[in-house]
Structure 1
């Protein structure tokens, strides 16, 4: 097998380990590979990624710094270097973080300059300038300028970025406006999620439900049936609608939906309890306890149902 083919096989195996969350094994594989191929940029990048997945920020920083030095014109290397530095800044004291923030900005700004269409870097800069206190360089106006750049590259990303900026700034009306524009422009599940999360922050469950229903009508994601039922059970509103969506969830359930049938049954038990339907509530909570007999929360719910 040629050196190139060997490298490709190792890289593919590493990426498969990432998918299955076996980051330690991926690290070991790439440590060995990079030791034998110290100038292979792809190997070093994957090693940095393996460190990053495990929050080994110093090691990730070292790997990405090597890449920046080896290929200073590659925007993505600067972006990953800045990202690892930024994550380290979040994990240390504020005094230590002050000594890192300048390097984070430089790395992201360099990446943005090298690649006028690098979306991830501009998103990182939007978030950085919003999250930093003004005294150490935070700036809403700079965040908005990068959101404008995003909008030139990808209109929906620019609109979502502006929604994020205004939501972070507690200007919920402006945030709602931009998230709705993003839905009109792109309409992805992510766009609907951002608007739903905004309504959750504003404690507006009716609008959460209507937004998730609109998302379901467009995307037919079964997971949304559960999420609607959860909001109904948590906020004790629109009980019939919650019951309907949870029943649909159970009827169409697949493992890929992400939430177990036990939790859907639990939410149904809650809704039937709220409807004072003791028999149905007991039926569903007993299904849950049969599947998860050690869960104290489920047992407490059964006690509450018995008191109806």
Structure 2
């Protein structure tokens, strides 16, 4: 409330001098609420400033304020209907709103959602993100409201023409979703061969985990590590080891390496590595070490329920 009062008391010229660069910097720094506070009055005073409207919509989106984001992106679509990315962002916000409500209410967003993505795809033959959205949309929709594997594959083929890696990943997703694991595995492997990025490897690892094939998951992670040398992969291997109670010595070593070499860019907080170590020591019936590491995890993130539950389980050893 105090921050809002300060904003109202600031002279109007301070908003008129707010630059797009300043607002974009706030988004880059993940200061989404601050970006919203500055962009909102700026847009009110400059209702045709497309960039400011887009930034405000993005600020709302990052905060999952979907109604407000939809309103801003809708302005962009009306003001500049020939820009594909505006339709894509509008469709994306509609999609996220649909996911946040019950299934019956979600249907009310479906028409505008499909129209936004289809318009974006028509306006820009090279818009990769839109085609990804259409691949997922048509796979997830029930057939009764237009869902279609064939249509999804159509957009996957378009993706493949733009980017073989994206096309292969899209087809892997489609066949995985459609419960055709052999084809899914084939296309995820093709993506790795062509692209070899961490994303490609992660998709295959996640696939193996869902298929309850931890040996293959670990082998894939080790292959990725040999090629990419990422500390985050140490955590991934330790996670699989801990979850499936296998290759525990290897998992323990990887998790300790992850903790030793940790940087924020690795993504997963150290608390989760300590939690996985606690799981490994629990599997080994080493109660004292298991308690040591679960307590380290809880010290960093005391509110995580799975940590709390794990500690109770360890105490029963």
Contact 1:285–1:301 (CA under 8 A) maintained in structure 2: no
Contact 2:258–2:273 (CA under 8 A) maintained in structure 1: yes
Look up the match of 2:77.
68
Deviation, structure 1 residue 281 = 5.0
The alignment's TM-score, normalised by the length of structure 1, stands at 0.87
Q: d(CA) in 2 for partners of 1:68 and 1:285?
A: 50
Q: d(CA) in 2 for partners of 1:47 and 1:289?
A: 37
Distance 1:298 1:84, change over 3 A: closer
Deviation, structure 1 residue 258 = 3.0
Q: d(CA) in 1 for partners of 2:244 and 2:233?
A: 16
Provide the secondary structure at the position in 1 that maps to 2:202. helix
Look up the match of 1:249.
258
Contact 2:298–2:308 (CA under 8 A) maintained in structure 1: no
Q: How many correspondences in the alignment?
A: 300
Look up the match of 1:205.
214
Contact 2:172–2:185 (CA under 8 A) maintained in structure 1: yes
1:169 and 2:178 are equivalent in the alignment = yes
Q: d(CA) in 2 for partners of 1:202 and 1:301?
A: 26
1:49 and 2:49 are equivalent in the alignment = no
Look up the match of 1:101.
110
Provide the secondary structure at the position in 2 that maps to 1:39. coil
Look up the match of 1:214.
223
Look up the match of 1:32.
41
Provide the secondary structure at the position in 1 that maps to 2:106. helix
Which consecutive segments of 4 or more residues in structure 1 shift more than 4 A?
6-9, 276-295
1:303 and 2:315 are equivalent in the alignment = yes
Structure 2: runs of 5+ lacking an equivalent:
1-14
Provide the secondary structure at the position in 1 that maps to 2:81. coil
Look up the match of 2:123.
114
Provide the secondary structure at the position in 2 that maps to 1:259. coil
Deviation, structure 1 residue 54 = 2.5
Look up the match of 2:150.
141
Contact 1:195–1:211 (CA under 8 A) maintained in structure 2: yes
CA RMSD in angstroms comes to 2.5
Q: d(CA) in 2 for partners of 1:228 and 1:238?
A: 10
In structure 2, which of residues 118, 124, 140 is the aligned counterpart of residue 131 of structure 1? 140
Matches within 5 A, 1:155-304: 155-276=164-285, 284=293, 296-297=308-309, 299-300=311-312, 303-304=315-316
Deviation, structure 1 residue 280 = 5.4
The alignment's TM-score, normalised by the length of structure 2, stands at 0.85
Structure 1: runs of 5+ lacking an equivalent:
1-5
Distance 1:258 1:103, change over 3 A: closer
Q: d(CA) in 2 for partners of 1:253 and 1:218?
A: 19
